[in-house]
Amino acid sequence: MLLQAGPVQADYSDGNLRYIRIDNQEVVRMIYFAIRDREWNTLSHEISGEEIKSSANSFSVKFTSKVRENGFHFNWKVEITGAPDGSIQFNIQGQATNSFLTNRAGLCVLHATDQFAGTPCCIEHPDGYFSHKYFPEAISPHQPFLNIRAMEWPVGKTGRVRLDFEGDIFETEDQRNWSDASYKTYCTPLELPFPKLLEKGTLINQSVRLTVTDVITLQKPLTETIRVYQNDAYSTFPKLGLQLASSCSARELDFVKHLKINHLRKDIFLSDDRWREQLMLALEKCRLCETRLELAVFCTAQDKNIPMFLNAITEHASAVKSILFFDAISGLTNTEFIANVIPNIREQLPHVELGGGTDTHFAEFNRNRMDYGALDFISFSLTPLAHLKDDLTMIDNMQAQFDMINSARAIAPEKKVHVSPITLKPRSKAVAADNEASKNNYDSRQTSQLAAGWTLGSIKYLAEAGADSITYFETNGPGGIMDEANIYPVGALLQFSLNWKPAEIKATSSDFPLKITSLLMLRAERKESCLLIANHTAEKQTVNLDLNAALKYTKITFALEQDATNELEANILTLAPWAVVAL
């Protein structure tokens, strides 16, 4: 729902304010309240008694909300107001109705990284002192802003935007560490012990106030047509693979075989007595799919099974694309392993790429830097749903992947960059209290067109940034690209894209990348091209293909739903909701 506060506009949905903007220039991505459990899961909430009043220059929103999940009982009231002077107030009053352990319970404010990277920001501290900072361009491993009472930054030629926080001490983190395309300002500071016990009856009263000064509004109209245009940069299409599911039927393996993917990933724990059996089964599945194996081996530098593993794998070295080595507990590759074990492995497997980094979030790679000299490549995993789980957040976060590749290259400039694996739902929690994997690793949207559109965006940003290898999802099942009866939309997208045999990517942009994503694939020698476009919204979108004369498309060659209302006339493309098409 669109709300107006003088020169400021915002979208309201599900208790949150999103895309707060002035003259279509975003000044805040989102304001919301969240409760996190001791494993950093964001708990779901239920809204009731919602009252919304909206006029041409002001608004008010009131509702009550509650959490009743996993032993957490918390109630809160929210009042959000917007005034004609452009000010917005977001107040929350809550109370714990039982006692529970929580890592965080408080207001959060997001700034989009593509809008704010490199922007100056003045921080006011509780003691009255000021710090002059910048939103970081490279992904900051630790909090760039600490001890915040207020923050202020420029907008437009003359304007200023200010946020005032009350009820706790706030700080800012770079959420690209977890594949989110935002900087998050939150409370309580991480330097304080967590989880903390929120005892029954504990009250939480917090507020965020946004004010604007010296803002000049031109009342720019929003165009109904979204322009897609090309840039000058080229990059090699990355090697693309899948994770092996725990079981695969003959039909599913045959579909994967005809995808012509670069590799299949299998995780092996040398502490598991069945590792040899699992290795042989994975090699056999790779043989049936006519591809090679990407192994992720979890062990320690002192693991007595390493020599036996090397003897087993040496016989099949030609069937192995690469091996990742991670500590079985931390999910990281440690310096001792790189220095003392990798050289011996390389002697036995001279033609197999050896890599490391982290099997978890980019944050762990960013915060645990080391000498990767003995490795061929570095790797980290990726999920768009580390913090919030809604559809809009999933799409909002796509652009972070470009920055993740660039920051990884800055950390290890001489190394190839692999991203493995990429999943919708987080697989495990490196920072979890008990370090246990989630009981349910799969997202119900895996079978949706939304997931296919997100995957197109993911390939785009990783490829345009120069990722060397990317590993998605699973071969089949609830976290895969198909099941015994159906090819999921993401499976159809990969089937078309890989069968087209792209060699390179040419960078493209969209006026509204949260609505429309484009991927321009080129064959060898750049004589043939294919443009893939995704609509990330539930509404029909009109796209203006503002491309050069050599890129004139006359028909739609692929669509997830062939009977959908997708139309191409001259350079104007009309896309059905959630459509993914190729030209």
Secondary structure letter of residue 454 according to DSSP: H
* 393, two tokens: 């957040």
- 214 torsion bin: left (phi>0), alpha (psi -120 to 50), beta (else): left
What is d(CA 81, CA 261) in angstroms, rounded to the nearest whole number? 52
Name the nearest CA neighbour of 265 among 308, 326, 315.
326
Question: Could you give the percent of the chain with pLDDT greater than 70?
Answer: 96
36, 143, 166, 288, 431 from 194: Cα distances, Å: 11, 17, 21, 49, 11
Contact call for residues 407 and 449 (beta carbons, < 8 A): no
Strand partners, 529: 522
Please give the pLDDT value at position 221.
64
Name the nearest CA neighbour of 8 among 153, 220, 221, 217.
217
Domain boundaries, the chain: 2-213, 228-525
Is the pLDDT score of 147 beyond 80?
Answer: yes
Average pLDDT over the chain, rounded to an integer: 93
Contact call for residues 107 and 33 (beta carbons, < 8 A): yes
pLDDT in tens, 181-212: 999 999 999 999 999 999 999 999 999 999 99
Instruction: Identify the H or E element spanning 582.
Output: strand 580-582
Residues 6+ apart with CB under 8 A from 13: 1, 392
Please give the pLDDT value at position 361.
96
Is the pLDDT score of 159 beyond 80?
Answer: yes
Mean pLDDT of 394-412: 97
Instruction: Identify the H or E element spanning 78.
Output: strand 72-82
The number of CA neighbours under 13 Å toward the Cβ of 188 is: 17
Please give the pLDDT value at position 433.
40
pLDDT in tens, 90-105: 999 999 999 999 999 9
Mean pLDDT of 436-461: 87
Q: How far apart are the first and last CA of the chain?
A: 34
**Lowest mean per-residue pLDDT among 72-86, 216-230, 433-447, 535-549:** 433-447
Is the pLDDT score of 374 beyond 50?
Answer: yes
* Total residues belonging to the chain: 583
Percent of the chain as helix, strand, coil, to the nearest 5: 20, 40, 40
Please give the pLDDT value at position 525.
84
Instruction: Count other Cβ atoms within 10 Å, centred on residue 221.
Output: 7
Instruction: Count other Cβ atoms within 10 Å, centred on residue 129.
Output: 10
Mean pLDDT of 436-448: 76
Secondary structure letter of residue 125 according to DSSP: P
Contact call for residues 35 and 72 (beta carbons, < 8 A): yes
CATH number assigned to the domain covering 228-525 = 3.20.20.80
Contact call for residues 61 and 32 (beta carbons, < 8 A): no
Contact call for residues 463 and 522 (beta carbons, < 8 A): no
Surface-to-core class of residue 299, CB atoms within 10 Å of its CB (0-12 exposed, 13-18 middle, 19+ buried): buried
The number of CA neighbours under 13 Å toward the Cβ of 473 is: 29
* 145, two tokens: 């802003």
CATH number assigned to the domain covering 2-213 = 2.70.98.10
What is d(CA 452, CA 490) in angstroms, rounded to the nearest whole number? 4
Q: ∠ CA 213-511-9 to the nearest 5 degrees? A: 30
Is the pLDDT score of 135 beyond 50?
Answer: yes
Mean pLDDT of 126-130: 95
* 349, two tokens: 């497997």
The model's confidence at residue 218, banded by pLDDT at 50, 70 and 90, is: low
**Any alpha helices (H) in 54-164, and if so which ranges?**
113-116
Mean pLDDT of 415-443: 73
Q: What type of residue sits at position 560? A: L
Please give the pLDDT value at position 428.
63
Is the pLDDT score of 434 beyond 60?
Answer: no
* 449, two tokens: 């067109």
Please give the pLDDT value at position 555.
86
Name the nearest CA neighbour of 463 among 191, 192, 204, 239.
239
Q: Tell me if residue 42 falls in helix, strand or coil.
A: strand
Q: ∠ CA 177-180-183 to the nearest 5 degrees? A: 80
154, 508, 531, 580 from 543: Cα distances, Å: 31, 13, 13, 13
Name the nearest CA neighbour of 293 among 242, 369, 336.
242
The alpha-carbon radius of gyration of the chain (Å, integer) is: 25
Helices H / strands E in the chain, number of each? 11, 36
The model's confidence at residue 224, banded by pLDDT at 50, 70 and 90, is: confident
- Side by side, the strands of the sheet bearing 72-82 are 46-54, 59-69, 72-82, 88-96, 203-213, 159-166, 150-155, 120-124, 130-134
Please give the pLDDT value at position 522.
95
pTM to 2 decimal places: 0.94
* 461, two tokens: 């940003």
The model's confidence at residue 70, banded by pLDDT at 50, 70 and 90, is: confident
The model's confidence at residue 126, banded by pLDDT at 50, 70 and 90, is: very high
Contact call for residues 7 and 17 (beta carbons, < 8 A): no
**Any alpha helices (H) in 89-241, and if so which ranges?**
113-116
Is the pLDDT score of 37 beyond 80?
Answer: yes
What is d(CA 315, CA 149) in angstroms, rounded to the nearest whole number? 62
